[in-house]
Amino acid sequence: MNDHILEARGLKKAFGPKEVLKGLDLSAARGEVVGILGRNGSGKTTLFSILLDLTAADAGTAKILGARPDGSGRVRSLIGYVPEKPAFHGFMTAKQVLEFRAGFFPSWDMAKALGLCRKLELDPASRVSAMSKGNLAKLAWITATAHNPELLLLDEPTSGLDYLVRDHILNGLIHELTEGGKTILVSNHRMGEMGGILDRVCVLKDGVIAASHAAAFLAEEAFRAAARLESPVALPDGVVALNGSGALREFAVFGRERLEKLKLDPAFAGAEISPLSLEDSFKVLLGE
Amino acid sequence: MKNLIILQFRKSLLPFSVLAGAVLLSVPAALLFRPDSLTGPEAVNIAMLFWALAGLPLAIMALAGAAGSDASSDAARASEQPLPESQYRQVLAGLAAAAAQTALLILAIYAIMGFSVPLDKLNFVNAHVASHYFFYAAFLALYAFTLSYALRNAVAGGIAAAALLAVTAVPLLSASLFSGLMLDLVPMAFLNSLTGILVLAGTLGALSLLCRAYARKEAGRAVKALFAALLLAAPALPPFIGLAILRGKSAEVTWPVFPLTIQADAPQDAPGVMLVQKPFTGEVFLIDEEGRRAAVFPDDSARGLPNYFFPVPAFVRGQTMAGPDGSVWVYADRYDKPGVLMNGSAAGGLKLRAAMPDSWRANFVRGKVPGIVERRKDGYYYAQLTPGDGPLKWENVKNITGEAAKRWITGTGAEALLDAFLRSRLAEAPGVAVLAADGRTVTAGGGKWTVPGALGPKAPLIGLRLGDGMSYVVPAREGKGYAAYLCPPGKAARRLWGDYFRPGANLWAAPDGTLWGYSRKSSIVLTVRKLSGASKKEFDSPQFNILTREGKSIESFRLDNVLRDLPEAEGDIALVREEKGELWFTIGNGYLVKTGANPNGPYSAWRFPESVREKYWRSTLLPTRNGILIAAMDGVHFMDWEGKAKRL
């Protein structure tokens, strides 16, 4: 049995002459946490929108827990979604939002929702129109998880939040993972802060998944090599120039085997090798 | 869906509450500030009328427009689209809430009026609008929402909805009013239903397409938007098609120019022509049995935009008369044009002999030389109708002299003056008899008869050319009853039938010279009785007396046997021909019937083409020697004596 919670094949989407997705393939296995890495405007939100059945793909197929985004909105009952800019009706209180949403999700767990309110220090009686950005993010997190979805789509879930709120959200994520084995698709400009929970990082570039790396690989087999080069050299595959001026240059090297090969190159003799941080790895991947 | 509707309702609760409160507050306000001339209920009704005509349409535009633009807003998209409901259902929930608020406001106004709209106190147009009010309100709510959703702007959407409502409702209303006031030329029930269905289906379909184009951002957005626009415009199509059909059909409608007779010294001499008007184009023409026609007034249907939306009939009155030379004299007066007097024939055309710009009315006068009497503002004028092209010589009737005139002038005014004048002119005319002052002596064209106890009619007696020449029928008192006396040429007057018969009232000559009259009533009275659960038609029909050209008298002839068999038989019955013992009758404007002398014997019946209903015009048929000319809904037809009809 295919254990993929999410499977997208050949997704295409254009807005006028601008092709945002150009045949994107993506899958996520049950319990997998996948980070979508891409620059602004690379199509992350469009991808999420298609998966959520909010936007129709021009071509390609997507399947989420066996359901297809067909315009009925049914797949949204299977997904917990945290948008980049959460919005609720201003005239409602947090509790009214939860009660209202409960009417749409048969598996809604009000006790869990209220429990999360307490845990995240969100007053259920507070009115949405008076909520801070952080409280809106908390409410979004609660509404995304209260119906116990198997798949969470998180679109910049910590964007613009202070450290405390961010910790709350990340702790919530970890809790969902440990308690429920959720599948999570997350896009985040500061992917480094997610590093500990990611299983895989996919690079969305030019409308397709340009690269996909296991998070463990990036954590353990990404290195920084600093070397003094007397003359320009051709860089082998898997080695990316980072910065430097004059003869002193820095390189990112992905893979222990490539690192060993590089060390054998006379030009890199004496290079100083150190681990590359996740944050820097993501920067390299984005810049590739 | 219910939760979504409740949500949408709640989102616009504040403006709705303000409007509903204003409606309710207008009741005490109307009572407080009512003028003395109005009772309390009348003042409240006027306040509610204001709401219905002005306040409510604006309220609907505001509520539905705001709901529509909100449904397309980024805020709604962000807060509602993540819900596991299709975007279309989410938009429909907004529409349902706006429709519910519209219905509640209408209900409130209706309730305040005591659940009764005083249609009887409104004029026809207002009553018609009131009876279709729900349609207009529903249209405005649906379109204001949909267009505001499409344009993402409540004001623009509301104004566009009002404009589309006007485009749809004006032709529909005018077609409907035309059907109610004039003629049923278009199937209004079908048209109304089709428009209603298209309004509902159009808005739902357009919303679906717009959702797919703008919310789901499906490919082919421009095409979907175009189709949505077409769907929204579709409800205007049936009304305009209906209006086009109405205009096309009304342009074909023909009515006779009344009075529908052609004056002639003898019916046998009358040419087979009919003076016909197309009231909705203004065209008037003389047409014969072969379809040849001569114009009196040309087609004048392009009478501006109001007439485009509501064709107004240009009523024409006039007369026709057969001249001694076989030509036809035509007098016609259209309300918006100077009257005309023309002479000629349908085949050869008509020549204008006199323009009559000051004419109030005119009557042809048969005599030794035919003439015309015209009523103008300053009195009556008479002219002899001489052949040729020269101008007519008009004579002021006031200048006449003579014993008859003197007798009638005294203290009896202008009408008596005219009557006296005509009598003096007609005394020697062939085919016209006058009764002497003793009420017993009939004189005409040198003939003189004496009848016992005649009634002394003021109007001249019209002669009837029967088998033995020009004869006169005089009704005379006989004991407590009446009898009809026949004055034949060269013979003494004789008693014809033992009942009251008077030419032009209940006695007529068919075109072939057969004399016929009815002794009780002219039309059919139908009663339906229920006998043991079954319906039984009972007819009370005219009872005819007939004098054939050969002098054979048939009395108390009835057509009940025929009438029982014919559906929808109604209207006047007239004898139009007798030939070798067979009789031809017309029944209303519906049937031509041929029957033998035995009223219970076999018969043949043929349906006439549909004519304008008799409630407006008594007859659209003109019998001639060869058949019947019929002014029908789709033009002029001719039916021969064996029922063979053709459109001319």
Is the pLDDT reported for residue B419 higher than 50?
A: yes
The partner residue sitting opposite B218, judged by closest CB among A56, A75, A105, is: A56
Count of domains observed in chain B: 3
Interface of B with A (CB under 8 A): 3, 7, 10-11, 75, 78-79, 81-89, 212, 215-219
Nearest C-alpha of chain A: how many angstroms from B98? 18
How many CB atoms are closer than 10 A to CB B298? 11
Give the range of the structural domain holding residue B588, as residue numbers without chain letter. 507-607
| Tens-digit pLDDT profile for residues B238-270 | 999 998 888 888 888 888 887 656 666 666 777
Q: Is residue B369 part of a domain?
A: no
Residues B21 and B92 in one domain: yes
Distance to chain A for B53, nearest Cα, Å: 33
Q: Would you call A103 and B84 a contact, using CB atoms and an 8 Å cutoff?
A: no
User: Is the domain of B191 the same as that of B94?
Assistant: yes
Indicate the burial class of B70 (C-beta count within 10 angstroms; 0-12, 13-18, 19 or more): buried
Decide: B493 and B487 in contact? Cβ < 8 Å.
yes
Do B515 and B498 fall within a single domain? no
Residues B112 and B221 reside in one and the same domain: yes
Which residue, of B250, B271, B305, is where some domain finishes? B250
> Are B449 and B593 part of one and the same domain?
no
Summarize the confidence of residues B304-316 as an average pLDDT: 77
Answer yes or no: is B270 within a domain.
Answer: no
Contact B565, B524 (CB under 8 A): no
Domain check: are B119 and B88 in the same one?
yes
pLDDT at B615 over 70: no
Stretch B414-430: mean pLDDT, rounded?
A: 63
Token pair 């009785």 in the structure block, residue = B529
* Cα–Cα distance measured from residue B522 to residue B500, given in angstroms and rounded to the nearest whole number: 14
Q: For residue B441, what is the enclosing H or E element? A: strand B441-444
Q: Give the single-character DSSP code of A129.
A: G
pLDDT band at B148 (very low <50, low <70, confident <90, very high): very high
Q: Is the pLDDT reported for residue B527 higher than 80?
A: no
What pLDDT was estimated at residue B410? 45
Name the stretches of chain A with pLDDT < 50: 1
Task: Write down the pLDDT at residue B232.
Answer: 93
Distance CA B591, CA B539 (A): 17
Q: Which residue has the higher pLDDT, B205 or B473?
A: B205
Give the gap in angstroms from C-alpha B151 to the nearest C-alpha of chain A.
19
**Comparing B372 with B420, which gets the higher pLDDT?**
B372
> What is the tens place of the pLDDT at every residue in A201-211?
888 888 888 88
CA distance A77 to chain B (A): 5
- Decide if B87 and A76 are in contact by the 8 Å CB cutoff: no
How many CB atoms lie under 10 A from the CB of residue B631? 28
pLDDT confidence band for B407 (50 / 70 / 90): very low
Average pLDDT over residues B99-127: 79
- Residues 6 or more apart in contact with residue B615 via CB below 8 angstroms: none
**Are B569 and B461 contained in the same domain?**
no
CB contact under 8 A, B11 and A88: no
- Is residue B402 one of the residues assigned to a domain? no
Contact: A91, B212; criterion CB under 8 Å: no
A72 and B86 within 8 Å at the Cβ level: the answer is yes
Please indicate whether, in this complex, the C-beta atoms of B82 and A105 are within 8 angstroms of each other. Answer: no
Does residue B477 sit in the same domain as residue B493? yes
Closest residue in A to B80 (Cα–Cα): A88
Average pLDDT over residues B13-27: 89
Query: In this predicted structure, what is the pLDDT of residue B206?
Result: 94
CA angle B114, B119, B124 (to 5 degrees): 165
Smallest Cα distance from B86 to chain A, Å: 4
Domain check: are B55 and B142 in the same one? yes
Count helices and strands (H / E) in chain B: 16, 35
Distance CA B339, CA B382 (A): 15
Q: Which domains does chain A have, with CATH numbers?
A: 4-216 (3.40.50.300), 221-287 (3.30.70)
CA–CA dist B92, B89 (Å, integer): 5
Domain boundary pick from B480, B505, B530: B505
Q: Which residue of B has its CA nearest to A78?
A: B84
B163 plus B56 within the same structural domain: yes
Which residues of chain A have a CB within 8 Å of the CB of B81? 54
The answer to whether B341 and B352 have CB atoms below 8 angstroms apart is yes
Pick from A21, A51, A54, A136 the residue to mutate for testing the B interface (most B CBs within 10 Å). Answer: A54
Q: Calculate mean pLDDT across residues B95-111.
A: 89
- For residue A76, what is the nearest residue in chain B, using CA coordinates? B84
Compute the nearest-CA separation of B212 from chain A (Å): 8
Q: Are residues B537 and B582 in the same domain?
A: yes
Q: Give the global pTM.
A: 0.76
- Bridge partners, B336 (sequence order): none
CB of A108 within 8 Å of a chain B CB? The answer is no
| A96 reaches B (C-beta below 8 A) | no
Residues 6+ apart with CB under 8 A from A15: B217
Q: With bands split at pLDDT 50, 70 and 90, how would you rate the model's confidence at B521?
A: low
DSSP assignment of B19-80: HHHHHHHHHHHHHHS--TTS-HHHHHHHHHHHIIIIIHHHHHHHHHHHHHHHHTSHHHHHHH
Each residue of B377-401: pLDDT tens digit? 777 788 888 888 888 888 887 655 4
Residue B404: inside a domain, yes or no?
Answer: no
Q: Do B529 and B476 share a structural domain?
A: no
Last residue of a domain, one of B250, B267, B296: B250
B64-94 tens-digit pLDDT: 999 999 888 888 888 887 788 888 998 999 9
pLDDT digits (tens, 9 = 90+) for B159-172: 999 999 999 988 88
CA distance B568 to chain A (A): 57
Is B75 within 8 Å of A73 when comparing Cβ atoms? no
For residue A136, give the chain B residue with the closest CA.
B79
Cβ contact A52–B215 (<8 Å): no
Say what the pLDDT of residue B460 is.
Answer: 67
